[in-house]
Amino acid sequence: MRALHLTSHDLQPKIAILDTPTPQAGEVAVTIMACGLNFADLLMMEGRYQDTPALPFTLGMEVAGTVESLGDGVSGLSRGDRVAVFGGQGGLAEQGVFDARRAVRMPSAMSFEDAAAFQIAYGTSHLALAHRAKLQAGETLLVLGAAGGVGLTAVEIGKLMGARVIACARGAEKLEIARKAGADHLIDAQSEDIREQVLALGGSDVVYDAVGGDQFTAAFRSCKPEARILSIGFASGEVPQVKANHLLVKNLTVMGLYWGGYLTFAPDILTGSLAQLFSWYEEGRIRPHVSHVLPLERAMEGLELLRSRKSTGKVVIRTQD
Neighbouring residues of 16: CB distance < 8 A, sequence distance ≥ 6 = 2, 3, 4, 5
What are the pLDDT tens digits along the chain (321 aa)?
999 999 999 999 999 999 999 999 999 999 999 999 999 999 999 999 989 999 999 999 999 999 999 999 999 999 999 999 999 999 999 999 999 999 999 999 999 999 999 999 999 999 999 999 999 999 999 999 999 999 999 999 999 999 999 999 999 999 999 999 999 999 999 999 999 999 999 999 999 999 999 999 999 999 999 999 999 999 998 999 999 999 999 999 999 999 999 999 999 999 999 999 999 999 999 999 999 999 999 999 999 999 999 999 999 999 998
Task: Report the C-alpha gap between 204 and 129 in whole angstroms.
Answer: 14
Task: Report the C-alpha gap between 252 and 229 in whole angstroms.
Answer: 8
Nearest to 188 by CA among 212, 167, 158: 167
CATH topology match: 2-118+288-318 vs 122-260: yes
Residue 174 CA: distances (Å) to CA of 23, 165, 203, 215, 321: 42, 15, 22, 16, 31
pLDDT of residue 321: 81
Please name the fold of domain 2-118+288-318: Quinone Oxidoreductase; Chain A, domain 1 (3.90.180)
pLDDT in tens, 87-108: 999 999 999 999 999 999 999 9
pLDDT in tens, 130-183: 999 999 999 999 999 999 999 999 999 999 999 999 999 999 999 999 999 999
Q: Residues 165, 159: contact at Cβ < 8 Å?
A: yes
The Cβ of residue 192 has, within 10 Å, a number of other Cβ atoms equal to 12
Nearest to 257 by CA among 194, 313, 207: 207
Which sequence spans correspond to the domains of the chain? Answer: 2-118+288-318, 122-260
What class is the 122-260 domain?
alpha beta
